[in-house]
Amino acid sequence: MRITTGYFLLFALAFGLVLTLFSVRDQLDVAKELFTWADQQTTERPLASYQPITVAYQDERVELYDGLRRNDLTSNALPAKVEKTFVAIEDRRFYQHDGYDITGILRAFTENQSGDSKGQGGSTITQQLARMTYLSTEKTYTRKIKEILISISLEQKYSKKELLTAYVNQAYFANNIYGIELAATSYLGKPAKDLNWAEVSYLAAIPNNPSLYDPLRFPKNTAKRQQRILKELRNIREIPKKTSVKPVQVAFKKPVIRYPDYIDASVAEAIRQTAALKNVSPIEAKQYLHQHGAVIQTYLDPVEQARAKQSIQSLPTPIEGAYVGIDGKSRGVTALVGNKSTLPGQLNRAVQSYRQPGSTLKPLLVYGPYLEKTKKTLTSRLDGSPVCFDGYCPQNSSNRILGEVTIADAIAYSYNTPALRAFAVSFNEGLKAIRPFRFSQWTDEDNSYNSALGGLKYGVSPLELTNAYTTFVNDGLYSPSSMIRTITTDEGTLYRHTLEADRIWSKRTNQLLRKGLTNVMTYGTGRQGYDTRPAYIGGKTGTTNDNKDMWFVGIKDQHVGGIWLGADIPRAFPTEANTTLQVKTWAAILP
Q: Which residues are catalytic?
A: 90, 359
Rounded to whole angstroms, the Cα distance separating 48 from 566 reads 46
DSSP secondary structure of 180-239: HHHHIIIIISS-GGG--HHHHHHHHTSTT-TTTT-TTT-HHHHHHHHHHHHHHHHHTTSS
- At residue 404, φ and ψ (nearest 5 deg) are -80, 140
**Which residues lie closer than 8 Å to 463 by C-beta, 6 or more apart?**
265, 324, 333, 336, 350, 351, 481, 562
Instruction: Specify the length of the chain in residues.
Output: 591
**Which residues lie closer than 8 Å to 23 by C-beta, 6 or more apart?**
none
Rounded to whole angstroms, the Cα distance separating 396 from 84 reads 75
Rounded to whole angstroms, the Cα distance separating 574 from 550 reads 10
Rounded to whole angstroms, the Cα distance separating 196 from 190 reads 11
Rounded to whole angstroms, the Cα distance separating 199 from 182 reads 14
Which residues are registered as beta bridge partners of 489?
492
Instruction: Look at residues 145, 157, 155 and name the one whose alpha carbon lies nearest to residue 125.
Output: 155
- At residue 443, φ and ψ (nearest 5 deg) are -120, 170
The 3-class SS string of 230-267 reads HHHHHHCCCCCCCCCCCCCCCCCCCCCCCCHHHHHHHH
Which residues are registered as beta bridge partners of 560?
326, 555
378, 524 contact by CB (below 8 A): no
- Terminal-residue alpha carbon distance, the chain: 109
For the four alpha carbons of 435, 436, 437 and 440, in that order, the dihedral sign comes to positive
Instruction: Look at residues 520, 570, 502, 254 and name the one whose alpha carbon lies nearest to residue 410.
Output: 520
